[in-house]
Amino acid sequence: MNKITTILAPIDFSENAHKIADAALYIAGTFKARLSYVFVVQDFEDYSGFMVPPVSMVSLKEDIFASAQKQMNEFVEQRSDKARQTGIPTIRGTILTGDVAEEILEHAKSINCNLIVMGTHGYKGVERILFGSIADKVVKNACCPVMTINPFQEECEGR
């Protein structure tokens, strides 16, 4: 296994995203590795068979992208002090658009990622049935090791 110098942590801004983000921050601090958070705005073409949206798709996509960028900036800023304290050389956030799993995999390659830290849960219910598990796709196709974290699992005490 290669030395861990770059960690990618896909996040979804859900209420449990901080668990994944903080775990990635801890691991990056342990290895003094660069840390990159990524959020992928799902392509709307995936939903085109379900309905005809009443608003301009281009405008909606731009609004979502801008909102996600604002959230990512705040998300990274909230963790930047801790990153500096633990010796993480770089912490950044990226917003991408496209197929979520494919974009995560491509981004991991583009930044020469050595480890992906991600949650086991994202989509739920009908969306998970329709689109499958993003974590499963990433684990099966990643160019590097993938650590998955169940954000709903209580931490074990005494272990």
pLDDT in 10s for each residue of the chain, 159 residues: 679 999 999 999 888 889 999 999 999 999 999 999 999 998 766 555 555 555 666 677 788 889 999 999 999 999 999 999 999 999 999 999 999 999 999 999 999 999 999 998 754 554 454 445 899 999 999 999 999 998 777 665 555
Residues composing the chain:
159
Query: In this predicted structure, what is the pLDDT of residue 66?
Result: 92
Query: In this predicted structure, what is the pLDDT of residue 10?
Result: 96
Of 107, 140, 111, nearest to 41 by C-alpha is 107
6-10 and 34-42: which strand pairing? parallel
DSSP state of 12: -
As given in the structure block, the two tokens for residue 154 are 């209580």
State which amino acid sits at residue 36: S
6-10 and 115-119: which strand pairing? parallel
Query: In this predicted structure, what is the pLDDT of residue 15?
Result: 82
C-alpha distances out from residue 33 to 2, 4, 8, 125, 147, Å: 12, 6, 10, 35, 15
Residue 7 pairs in a beta bridge with 35, 115
Query: In this predicted structure, what is the pLDDT of residue 57?
Result: 66
Q: At what angle do helices 17-31 and 57-85 cross, to 10 degrees?
A: 40
Superfamily of domain 6-149: HUPs (3.40.50.620)
What is the rounded distance in angstroms from the CA atom of residue 71 to the CA atom of residue 158?
Answer: 35
With contact defined as beta carbons under 8 Å apart, do 11 and 20 qualify? Answer: yes
Query: In this predicted structure, what is the pLDDT of residue 152?
Result: 74
As given in the structure block, the two tokens for residue 153 are 């699992």
Residue 115 pairs in a beta bridge with 7
Q: Which helix (H) or strand (E) holds 149?
A: strand 146-149
Query: In this predicted structure, what is the pLDDT of residue 35?
Result: 97
